[in-house]
Amino acid sequence: MRLRKILLDHGGGGKASHDLIKETFLPQFNNPFLMELDDSAVFKVGKARLAFSTDSYVVEPIFFPGGDIGSLAIYGTINDLAMRGARPLYLSVGFIIEEGFDLSDLERILSSMKDAANKSQVLVVTGDTKVVSKGSVDKLFINTSGIGIIETNINISGQNAQIGDKVIISGTIGDHGIAVLSQREGLELEYPLKSDSAPLNKLVFEMLEASSNIHALRDPTRGGIGTSLNEIAVQSHVGIRIFEETIPIKEEVVGACELLGLDPLYVANEGKLLAFVDPHDVNKVLDKMRANEYGGEAQVIGEVVADHKGKVAMVTRIGGTRIVDMLTGDQLPRIC
């Protein structure tokens, strides 16, 4: 008998999330925009091509090294727009606040959102605030939705990765997840980690100036690069091969993952992107990325192959090859 309850796994961004969306959500809202299953929907209004995206933020704790729920909510939605090649323009913000929440904490979060919006050159143009009784929500949740404009005729989508494409990661993996988890669990790391939460719209803009052959972009948030690569392998009907030794990762993240029994491939990032780029343009794109404050450690970590369609394989440090499956289970609830 099938379990008829929602589990934490269903929100983990991995296999259970994808199954829930495929089996429960998509049969109801079946339309070509949603069916693309990209970070944003893209459609035309008049002559303008727009991207539209939404995300709710439930991160716990709400303040963590390198950010807070407010800046995360601004950058997260900006990044989802940027992953379609859109220039983010306008955001909405919806708060659900627990009765008794400290007003100074709210002010601190709002101030951080303002700074994040200014830094990313977007405007918060509309909002909503609900307050619920004590115990009906854990402190404060934020939804942001955003609208961006796609100003060229590019078509960047998780469906468009091409065999031969190189796979680039913009920097080290796992920083956000480990920073939040360390704060939550009170772990004392020798070198304290900070979340990488950051706006990637300017980085994407510069990449697109360097090349018109960027086929797919994704920010590997919930579920980490393991899940994002699997999504693109499935969406584009291609195989992806990555090389473990090329993946940038901080020693502290490796150490914390060993301590906690986590696989860094599945740990959330909030200021990184994966890019699928035509091999002829890969050096031009890498140069641009490395000159940007959020792409300094950009690396080619793999390639798109004709084998094992819909799957991701990793050549390990010791030379073996293993299949990297989509995340099963939710190893880190409420990480974003």
Subset of residues 89 to 108 that bind its own copies, contact rule: CB under 8 A: 89-90, 92-104, 106-107
Least distance between its own copies and beta carbon 197 (Å): 17
Per CB under 8 A, does 153 bind its own copies? no
Q: How many residues does the chain have?
A: 336
Least distance between its own copies and beta carbon 86 (Å): 11
Least distance between its own copies and beta carbon 48 (Å): 4
Instruction: Return the residue of 137, 154, 163, 305 that touches its own copies, per CB under 8 A.
Output: 137
Nearer to its own copies, 6 or 291 (CB): 6
Within 8 A by CB and 6+ apart from 188, the residues are: none
Instruction: Return the residue of 40, 230, 235, 269 that touches its own copies, per CB under 8 A.
Output: 40
Coil vs helix vs strand at 294: coil
Tokens of 159: 């469906």
The 10 Å Cβ neighbour count of residue 60 is 14
Instruction: Check if the beta carbon of residue 258 is closer than 8 Å to that of residue 251.
Output: no
Alpha-carbon distances of 2 from 9, 63, 64, 145, rounded to whole Å? 15, 38, 38, 34
Interaction mask 45-74, its own copies, x per CB under 8 A: xxxx-x-xxxxx-x-x--------------
Least distance between its own copies and beta carbon 40 (Å): 6
Nearer to its own copies, 324 or 327 (CB): 327
Per CB under 8 A, does 33 bind its own copies? yes
Segment lying near its own copies (by CB under 8 A), choices 1-9, 202-210, 227-235, 283-291: 1-9
Task: Give me the residue label for tokens 């300094």.
Answer: 296
In 3D, which of 66, 111, 120, 134 has the Cα closest to residue 91? 120
Q: Terminus-to-terminus CA distance in the chain, angstroms?
A: 32
Nearer to its own copies, 105 or 325 (CB): 105
Nearer to its own copies, 110 or 260 (CB): 110
Least distance between its own copies and beta carbon 34 (Å): 5
Number of residues that bind its own copies (CB under 8 A): 79
Per CB under 8 A, does 192 bind its own copies? no
Map the footprint of its own copies across residues 3-32, applying CB under 8 A: 4-12, 17, 20-21, 24-25, 28-29, 31
Give the span between the Cα atoms of 16 and 202, in whole angstroms.
33
What strands, in cross-sheet order, belong to the sheet with 214-218?
214-218, 274-277, 166-169, 299-305, 239-243, 312-315, 321-324
